[in-house]
Amino acid sequence: MAGVSSCMKYSMFIFNFFFWVCGCIILGVSIWIRVNKDAQQEFQVDSSMFAGVDLLIAVGSIIMVLGFLGCCGAIKESRCMLLLFFIGLLLILILQITAGILGAVYRSQIETALNTILQESVKTLQSSTEESKAFQETLQKFESKNQCCGLLNGPEDWGKNLNNYKACECASENQSTDLCTYAQGRYIYKTPCGEIIIKQLKDHMIIIMGIAFGLAVIEILGLGFSMSLYCQIQRK
């Protein structure tokens, strides 16, 4: 009867060991950011970003479990662990493909929903309540950093509040450029921040798609190796 390929066995172990280490790093850093106030300030993480940190904790945990199953399954020649590794990796691959298809199909609806959210946020910019001030201050920081103003219609989105803050005010070195326009006695940025936000989301989507494609290739290789090793162990 055919034996188990030592090359494939130890290659599977080494690959999954690094996979497990990556999971540990993601999980450890995510938990550290989630519970440590100093880390949150260092990485500029606020309460609105906690959902993303929680997602990273879940991703790190899954990677750790899969890496452990792959390592132990390969080194101990355990068909049960290899099968669990194969099933887990296959489910992740299916979820990635499903998410990619849904993202492509509903892309226009996503952009429409984002514009609706921005339209609702414009009302918050024109509000004078205490609850709206936190959002207004956050947007001002975004405006200064990205040289934009308002969300959809530029300075008009601020309404009367444009005079209450230094919102949209151009830096002195930018006043003579196409970025600014002269209004209400001062130079202000004329590009709506909504355009910047949508562009950044699209750029990030391209990066995410590239990472997802790279991961899919690695996952397919992992599936092939694990099933090949599983079959070799079964024939042993």
DSSP string, 73-127: HHHTT-HHHHHHHHHHHHHHHHHHHHHHHHHHHTHHHHHHHHHHHHHHHHHHHT-
Residue 65: per-residue pLDDT = 92
Of the candidates 70, 58, 61, which has an alpha carbon nearest to the alpha carbon of residue 17? 70
Residue 85: per-residue pLDDT = 92
Residue type present at position 75 = I
**How is residue 129 annotated by DSSP?**
S
- Cα separation, 154 vs 173, in Å, equals 20
pTM (predicted TM-score) = 0.66
Residue 35: per-residue pLDDT = 85
Q: What angle do CA 81, 88, 56 make, to 5 degrees?
A: 120
Q: What are phi and psi of 188, to 5 degrees?
A: -135, 155
Residue 1: per-residue pLDDT = 43
Consecutive 10-residue averages of pLDDT for the chain (236 residues):
72 87 88 81 65 82 91 89 92 85 73 80 80 82 84 82 74 71 78 85 77 83 88 82
- Cα separation, 236 vs 228, in Å, equals 12
Residue 51: per-residue pLDDT = 74
CB 209 within 8 A of CB 100: yes
Token output for 185? 């006695």
Residue 83: per-residue pLDDT = 92
Q: What angle do CA 203, 122, 130 make, to 5 degrees?
A: 115
